[in-house]
Amino acid sequence: MIITKNIKMADVIHTNYFTLSVLNRFGIELGFGDKSVDEVCKKNNVDVDFFLEIVNAFVDKDYFPKKHLQTFSVKLITDYLQKTHDYYHKLKVPEIENLIEEMVDSCYTQKENIVLLKKFFNDYKQELLNHTHREEKIVFPYTLAIEKAYNSEESDNSVIELMETYSIEIFQNEHDNIEEKLLDLRNIIIKYLPQPKNSRLCNKLLYELFNLEQDINDHSRIEEKVLVPKIREMEKIITKRFAKK
Ligand SMILES: [Fe+2]
Ligand SMILES: [Fe+2]
C-alpha cells in the first residue's frame, strides 16, 4: 500500500507500526485524531512530499523512487539523516543497553555469557558512533558545501580546492555495512548462547536488534542511493562550470 497525503496519519501507523520511529524523527507526536497526513505535516511544519517519500521507502523496500527523492534539497536530506543518527544514539542504543542490563540477573546463569553479550554490543555501539561521527563531521558538511556551490551563481575556487581533498566517491568507497554486525549479534543469541532463563526478555532484545538493523538498512539506502548520486551529479556540473572558465 502506497501512503498518500490524504490518508489518515493514524492509518499510517496501523499499516506498519515501525513508522512510529519515522514520525518521531520528524517531530510528529501522537494524538492527531483523524487528521490526514497532509494536515498533520502542515501542523508540524514538515514538508509533506518529503515525508511521503521517506515513509513509503521505509514501509516498502521496493518502493524506492530514487529520482524523486533526489529532487529534495541536500539540507532536507541531511537533516533527516542527522535526526536518524540522534534517534539511534539517544533512544535505541540506550534502550538496548538497558535491556541487556536487565538480562544480567535473569537470563543466563553463567556470567561469561552476559559479559560476551555486553562486550559485543559495546563494541558495536562504538563502531556505530565512529560511523555516524565521520558522516556528521566530514560527509554532511561536504555535501552542504557542494549544494551551496552548485546553487551559487558565482564561481568560487574554494569548492574546487575542497573537491580536490574529498569527494562523494571517497565516502561511497569507505561507507561500511554497519548493520551486518547486528546480525552477528542476533546469531550469538539465537545459536550459541545457552537457553535463556527468561525467554521473554531475550525475545524482546532480539526484536529490538532486528528493528534497529532494519532501520539502519533503510538509513544507509538513503545515504547511498539518494545522497551519493545527487552529490555526484552536482560535483560533475561544478567541475564543468569551472572547466569553461
Ligand atoms: Fe548515517
Ligand atoms: Fe552511514
User: What is the pLDDT, as a whole number, of residue 82?
Assistant: 96
Residue ranges with CB less than 5 Å from ion ligand 1: 135
User: What is the pLDDT, as a whole number, of residue 77?
Assistant: 94
User: What is the pLDDT, as a whole number, of residue 202?
Assistant: 84
pTM value is 0.89
User: What is the pLDDT, as a whole number, of residue 13?
Assistant: 93
User: What is the pLDDT, as a whole number, of residue 65?
Assistant: 61
Distance from the alpha carbon of residue 81 to the mean position of ligand 1, in angstroms: 6
The bound ligand whose nearest atom lies closest to the alpha carbon of 82 is 1
Give CA–CA dist 44/26, Å, rounded: 8
131-136 long-range contacts, Cβ below 8 Å, gap at least 24? 131/176, 131/178, 132/85, 132/88, 132/89, 135/81, 135/85, 135/223, 136/82, 136/85
Per-domain residue ranges of the chain: 9-63, 69-244
The DSSP-derived string for 171-211 is HHHH---TTHHHHHHHHIIIIISPPPS-HHHHHHHHHHHHH
- Give Cα 130 distance to the centre of its chain: 15
Sequence-separated (6 or more) residues with CB below 8 Å from residue 228 = 168, 171, 172
User: What is the pLDDT, as a whole number, of residue 4?
Assistant: 93
User: What is the pLDDT, as a whole number, of residue 64?
Assistant: 64
The bound ligand whose nearest atom lies closest to the alpha carbon of 78 is 1
Mean pLDDT score across all residues of the chain? 89
Distance from the alpha carbon of residue 131 to the mean position of ligand 2, in angstroms: 6
The residue assigned the cell 518502493 is 63
| pLDDT tens per residue, range 11-45 | 999 988 888 989 988 999 999 999 999 999 999 99
The bound ligand whose nearest atom lies closest to the alpha carbon of 174 is 2
* Region of 27 on the Ramachandran plot (φ > 0 left; ψ -120 to 50 alpha; else beta): left
Distance from the alpha carbon of residue 190 to the mean position of ligand 2, in angstroms: 27
Distance from the alpha carbon of residue 221 to the mean position of ligand 1, in angstroms: 10
The bound ligand whose nearest atom lies closest to the alpha carbon of 136 is 1
**pLDDT by 10-residue block (mean), the chain, 245 residues:** 92 90 91 96 95 87 68 93 95 93 76 83 95 97 95 82 94 91 86 77 89 91 90 92 79
Residue ranges with CB less than 5 Å from ion ligand 2: 223
Distance from the alpha carbon of residue 222 to the mean position of ligand 1, in angstroms: 9
Distance from the alpha carbon of residue 84 to the mean position of ligand 2, in angstroms: 10
User: What is the pLDDT, as a whole number, of residue 142?
Assistant: 97
Helix orientation angle between 157-165 and 140-151, rounded to the nearest 10 degrees: 150
Distance from the alpha carbon of residue 220 to the mean position of ligand 2, in angstroms: 5
| Cβ neighbours of 43 (radius 10 Å) | 12
The bound ligand whose nearest atom lies closest to the alpha carbon of 87 is 1
User: What is the pLDDT, as a whole number, of residue 61?
Assistant: 74
